[in-house]
Amino acid sequence: MTVSPSVDLDYETLLSSVTLSADWDILTYLDESDLNRTNQYYELSGDRRFKERWKADIDLKYYDDTTLNTYLQETGRVIERVQRNFLEAGGDVDYDLTTVSGLSVGYRYQDASYDDDDFSDYYNHRGNLYYVHRLKTEVDRISIGPSYYYRKNDFNEVDSYSMDIGWHRDWSTVSYSFASIGARYAEVTDEDGSDDDSWGARARIDLSFDGETSTTLFRYFHDLRTTSQGDDINVDNFYFSYRQLLTERFRAGINARLVFSYKLLDRQSDVNDSRYYWLEPNLTYDVMRNLRVSLSYRYQNNVESGDDGERDITRERNVFWLQFSYSWTTLF
């Protein structure tokens, strides 16, 4: 049995906004009671404009769950079920140089720890500086600039440098797109002082449409992610979500994710190439204003390719669930 309470708080003025969300998944098993636990997810974000030219935004995330949840979606790797604590904090400061150009400075910090000494805790820092220019079309903005990434654990550390160029377009008041690509150089230094390097790329695509009867969201990124064994890997991560209102009370939707992960360095003999995906169609019916019933199905599939001619390992999972949701809104 799963009970998932959540709280969402929003505050907005003409110059600032703050959003706080807290979600819990309380899992109870009839037979395997040693697997009982409560997964926790907290997110805080906010932004504020200072005077005419300055704007800042921050965000904070904290997850306390198992490696079968957020870790699996980040890396596409299936590992032993273990508790994982993940913290992410970051922000950006934007300054308008002119009416059509500006600078953006960003910083992000991540920290992950596992409730088992067999896995490798780590932390990383990322900083970036971008020049942003609005084109004559008034709906297009381009950005260019460098970024620096540093990650460290007990076994090695990674320094990565990239130069990225991006394009943002507001197609309408309800749709936008963003795409960026950049060249990346990464250097891995082991605890004994030996090092190795690799050239690669960074990429990101965001597409969003929010209409009267349907919503569509597509996201993709190619970048580095850190495994529980302490190695950085290349990850291609795709996500797609679609919702369609069929009648006033009845809607259908589908969610999907596809993750490819593979070695950053050839000498990482203990890191296998992996492919993971899940597909989740769902139907929802509003019984009344505050009561909703949903029927969902999720299929998950993971394939790991072994080294030295070893056979592939395939894992599958099928999940069906019926969900009753009751919500209420309180005004302060």
* Model confidence pLDDT, tens digit, residues 149-196: 999 999 999 999 999 999 999 999 899 999 999 999 999 999 988 999
Digit-coded pLDDT (tens) for 301-318? 999 886 655 668 899 999
**Residue 219: per-residue pLDDT:** 97
What dihedral angle (degrees, nearest 10) is formed by the CA atoms of 151, 123, 165, 93?
-130
**Residue 310: per-residue pLDDT:** 65
Decide the pairing of beta strands 2-3 and 6-12. unpaired
Digit-coded pLDDT (tens) for 120-160? 999 999 999 999 999 998 899 999 999 999 999 999 999 99
What dihedral angle (degrees, nearest 10) is formed by the CA atoms of 143, 259, 189, 88?
60
Question: Percentage of the chain with pLDDT > 70?
Answer: 97
SS3 call for 85 = strand
Residue 27 contacts residue 38 (beta carbons within 8 Å) = yes
Best CA proximity match to 223, nearest among 296, 151, 169: 151
pLDDT band at 330 (very low <50, low <70, confident <90, very high): low
pLDDT band at 51 (very low <50, low <70, confident <90, very high): confident
Best CA proximity match to 83, nearest among 71, 95, 92, 100: 71
Q: How far apart are CA 202 and CA 320, in angstroms?
A: 36
Digit-coded pLDDT (tens) for 84-110? 999 999 999 999 999 999 999 999 999
**Residue 327: per-residue pLDDT:** 80
Whole-prediction pTM:
0.90
Asked if residue 297 has pLDDT above 90, the reply is: yes
Specify the higher pLDDT residue, 1 or 19: 19
Q: How far apart are CA 124 and CA 147, in angstroms?
A: 13
**Residue 224: per-residue pLDDT:** 95
Decide the pairing of beta strands 83-96 and 232-245. unpaired
Compute the mean pLDDT over every residue in the chain, rounded to the nearest whole number: 93
Q: How far apart are CA 273 and CA 262, in angstroms?
A: 4
